[in-house]
Structure 1
Amino acid sequence: MREFSVPALVRAQRTEGLADSVFRTAEETPLLPVLSRRTAINPDATDEAPSPQGATWHDVTAAQFRDEVQALAKGLLQQGIRFGDRVALMSRTRFEWTLLDYALWSIGAQPIPVYPTSSAEQVRWILGDSHAVACIVEHEDHAMTVGSVCDSLPTLRRIWQLDAGALRQIAFAGRSVPDEEIERHRAAVTSDTVATIIYTSGTTGRPKGCVLTHGNFMAECDNLVTQYESVFGAKGRGEQASTLLFLPLAHVFGRMVQVGAIRAGVRLAHEPSLRPADLLPSLASFGPTFLLAVPYIFEKLLQRARQRAEESGRGGIFEKAYNAAVRYAAAQERAAFGEGPGPTAALRMQHQFYESLVYGKVRAVLGGKLRHAMSGGSAMNREHALFFKGAGVTVIEGYGLTETTAASTANPPDRPRFGSVGQAIPGTSVLIAEDGEVWVHGGQVFQGYLNNPEATEDTLRNGWLATGDLGRLDSEGYLWITGRKKEIIVTSGGKSVAPVTLEDRIRNHPLVNHCMLVGDNRPFVGALLTLDPEALDHWQRRNGRPQLSPAQAAHDPDIHAELQRAVVTANTAVSRAESVRAFRVLAMDFTEQSGLLTPSLKLRRRAIIRHCAVDIEALYASSAQAALST
Structure 2
Amino acid sequence: MAEGAKLHSASETIGALLARNASSHGSSIAVREKERGIWKETTWADYAEEILACAAGLEKLGVKPGKAVLILGDNRARLYGGMLAISLLGAYAMPAYPGATLDELQHFLGEVEIVAAIAEDQEQVDKILELRDAGASGIAHIIYDETRGLGFYEDEGLMSWDHLVEVGTHHLNEDPKRREELSKRATPDDPAIFLHSSGTTGAPKGIVLSQKNVLAAAKNGHDAGAYGEGEEILAYLPMAWVGDYAITVAAALLYRFTVNVPERQETVVRDMREIAPTFYLAAPRSWDQMLTTIQVGMEDSTRLKKWLYHFFMDRATAAETRKLNGQTGGVLEPLGRMLGELLVFGPVKDQFGMSRLKNAFTGGEAIGEDTFVFYRALGIKLRQFYGQTEISAISAMQAPDEVRLHTVGKPAPGVDVKIDDSGEILLRSDSVFEGYFNKPEATAEALEGGWLRTGDAGYLEDNGQLVVLGRVSEVMYTAGGERYVPNYIENRLKFSPYIKDAAVLGAGLDELTAMVCVDFEAVGHWAEVNGVPYVSYADLSQRDEVSKLLHQAFERVNKAVTEPLQLKRFVSLPKEFDPDDGEITRTRKLRRKVVQERYADVIAALYDGSKEVHVSAQVTYETGEVGKVEKSLPIREV
TM-score by shorter chain over 0.5: yes
1:428-463 superposed Cα distances (whole Å, 9 cap, x missing partner): 111111111111111111110011000000110111
Shift of 1:80: 1.9
Deviations 1:240-267 (A, max 9, x none): 5201021111111000012101211111
For structure 2, the residue ranges without an aligned partner over 5 or more in a row are 148-158, 612-633
- 8 Å CA contact 2:524–2:540 kept in 1: the answer is no
Residues 451-470 of structure 1 aligned to structure 2 (within 5 Å): 451-470=438-457
| 1:554–1:585 contact (8 Å) kept in structure 2 | yes
Q: Relative to 1, partners in 2 of residues 1:274 and 1:471: Cα closer, same or farther, differing over 3 Å?
A: farther
Counterpart of 2:320, as a letter, is: A
Q: Counterpart of 1:300?
A: 289
TM-score (normalizing by structure 2): 0.88
SS in 2 for 1:566: helix
Q: In structure 2, how many angstroms separate the alpha carbons of the residues matched to 1:509 and 1:76?
A: 48
Q: Which amino acid aligns with 2:86?
A: L
SS at match of 2:360: strand
Match of 2:254 in 1: 263
Please, which of 203, 210, 214 is the counterpart of residue 213 of structure 1? Answer: 210
Moved more, 441-450 or 596-605: 596-605
Higher RCO, Cα 8 Å, sep 6+: 1
1:364 Cα deviation from its structure 2 partner: 1.2
Cα deviation, residue 12, structure 1: 5.5
Query: Does the aligned pair in 2 maintain the 1:57–1:286 contact within 8 Å?
Result: no
Match of 1:174 among 168, 174, 192: 168
| Equivalent residue, structure 2, for 1:248 | 238
Choose 166-175 or 148-157, whichever is displaced more: 148-157
Q: Hey, what does 2:626 align to over in structure 1?
A: none
Contact in 1 for aligned 2:584/2:590 (Cα 8 Å) = yes
1:554 pairs with one of 508, 517, 541: 541
The equivalent of 1:50 in structure 2 is: none
| Pairs aligned (count) | 597
Task: Check the 8 A contact 1:92/1:272 in 2, yes or no.
Answer: no
Tell me the equivalent position of 1:343. Answer: 329
2:67 counterpart of 1:78: no
- 2:487 aligned with 1:493: no
Q: Match of 1:310?
A: 299
For residues 124 and 344 of structure 1, the distance between their equivalents in structure 2, rounded to whole angstroms, comes to 57
Deviation digits for residues 97-149 of structure 1 (CA, Å, limit 9, x no counterpart): 21111211222222011111111111111122122222222233333333334
**Separation in 2, partners of 1:210, 1:496:** 32
Q: Which of 170, 189, 192 is the aligned partner of 1:192?
A: 189
Partner of residue 232, structure 1? 228
- 2:430 maps to 443
Partner of 1:616: 603
Structure 1 position 350, deviation (Å): 5.2
Q: Which residue of structure 1 lines up, in the alignment, with residue 90 of structure 2?
A: 108
Write out per-residue CA displacement over residues 152-202 of structure 1, whole angstroms, 9 at most, x where no aligned residue: 446433233332362111111223223522432432311111222211121
Distance in structure 1 (CA, Å) of the matches to 2:375 and 2:5: 29
1:282 to 255, 258, 271: 271
CA contact (8 A) 1:246 1:272 kept: no
2:146 is the alignment partner of 1:163:
yes
What is the alpha-carbon distance in structure 2 between the residues aligned to residue 308 and residue 608 of structure 1?
Answer: 36
Aligned to 1:117, which of 99, 102, 110?
A: 99
- Asked if the contact 2:19–2:183 (Cα under 8 Å) also holds between the matched residues in 1, the reply is no
Work out the CA distance in 2 between the residues paired with 1:114 and 1:516.
26
Matching residue within 43, 56, 59 for 1:61: 43
Is the CA contact 2:252–2:258 (under 8 Å) kept in the aligned structure 1? Answer: yes
Give the Cα separation in 1 of the matches to 2:408 and 2:606.
34
Q: Using the TM superposition, name which of 293-302 and 412-421 deviates more.
A: 412-421
Identity of aligned residues (%): 26
* Structure 2 match to 1:416: 403
Report whether the alignment pairs 1:566 with 2:553: yes
Q: Secondary structure at the match of 1:602?
A: coil
Aligned equivalents of 1:256, 1:32: Cα separation in 2: 21
- 212-221 or 95-104, which moves further after superposition? 95-104
Question: Conserved in 1, the CA contact under 8 Å of 2:4 and 2:428?
Answer: no
What is the CA–CA distance in structure 1 between the aligned matches of 2:309 and 2:566, rounded to whole Å? 31
Could you tell me which of 341, 359, 362 is aligned with 1:355? 341
In structure 2, distance between residues paired with 1:28 and 1:375: 33
| Separation in structure 1 between the aligned mates of residue 321 and residue 421 of structure 2, nearest angstrom | 33
The CA deviation at 1:218 is 1.1
Deviation sequence 1:368-425 (CA, Å, 0-9, x none)? 2223212222222244222212211112211111101001111123433343111111
Inter-CA distance 294–627: structure 2 relative to 1 (3 Å threshold): closer
User: Structure 1's 360 and 194: CA in aligned 2 closer, same or farther, altered over 3 A?
Assistant: same
Which residue of structure 1 lines up, in the alignment, with residue 629 of structure 2? Answer: none
Shift of 1:226: 3.5
Worse-matched range after superposition: 163-172 or 347-356: 347-356
> Normalising to structure 1: TM-score of the pair?
0.89
Report if the CA contact (8 A) 1:110-1:196 is conserved: yes
Question: Per the alignment, in what secondary structure is the counterpart of residue 218 of structure 1?
Answer: helix
Letter of the aligned partner of 1:304 in structure 2?
Answer: T
Residue 394 of structure 2 aligns to a residue whose secondary structure is: strand
AA of the residue aligned to 1:183? E
Cα distance change on mapping 1:540 and 1:350 into 2, 3 Å? farther
Moved more, 491-500 or 89-98: 491-500
Alignment partners' CA distance in 2, 1:319 and 1:437:
43
The answer to which of 591-600 and 16-25 deviates more is 591-600
> RMSD value over aligned CA atoms?
2.4
* 1:47 alignment partner in structure 2: none
CA pair 386-562 structure 1, distance change in 2 beyond 3 A: closer
- Alignment correspondent of 1:324: 315
Which piece of structure 1 moves more, 576-585 or 514-523? 514-523
Q: Is the 8 A contact 2:436 2:442 kept in 1?
A: yes
Inter-partner Cα distance in structure 1 for 2:485 and 2:323: 30
Whether the 8 Å contact between 1:242 and 1:267 is mirrored in structure 2 is yes
CA deviation map 1:204-224 (0-9, x unaligned): 201100121100011100222
